[in-house]
Amino acid sequence: MLRLLTRLIGLLLLAGGFIALIVDGTRSIAAGRVMVTSINKGTSAVFPGLYQSLQSSVENVSAFLWDPILTTLMLAPVSVAFGGVGALLILLSHRRSAPLYYARR
Per-residue pLDDT tens over the stretch 28-67: 999 999 999 999 898 888 888 888 888 888 888 888 888 8
pLDDT in tens, 6-32: 999 999 999 999 999 999 999 999 999
pLDDT at 49: 87
Give alpha helix (H) positions in the chain. Answer: 2-31, 39-46, 48-61, 63-64, 71-73, 78-92
Structure confidence at residue 71 (pLDDT): 86
Asked if 101 and 22 touch (Cβ cutoff 8 Å), the reply is: no
Q: What is the helix (H) or strand (E) element at residue 33, kind and residue range?
A: none
Give the CA distances from residue 92 to residues 10, 56, 66, in Å, rounded to whole numbers and listed in that order. 9, 33, 28
pLDDT value of position 30: 96
**Using CA atoms, how far apart are residues 93 and 7, in angstroms rounded to an integer?**
6
What values do phi and psi take at 11, rounded to 5? -65, -40
Which residue, among 9, 14, 1, has the nearest Cα to 84 in the 3D structure?
14
Instruction: State pTM to two decimals.
Output: 0.77
Instruction: Give the model's pLDDT for residue 20.
Output: 93
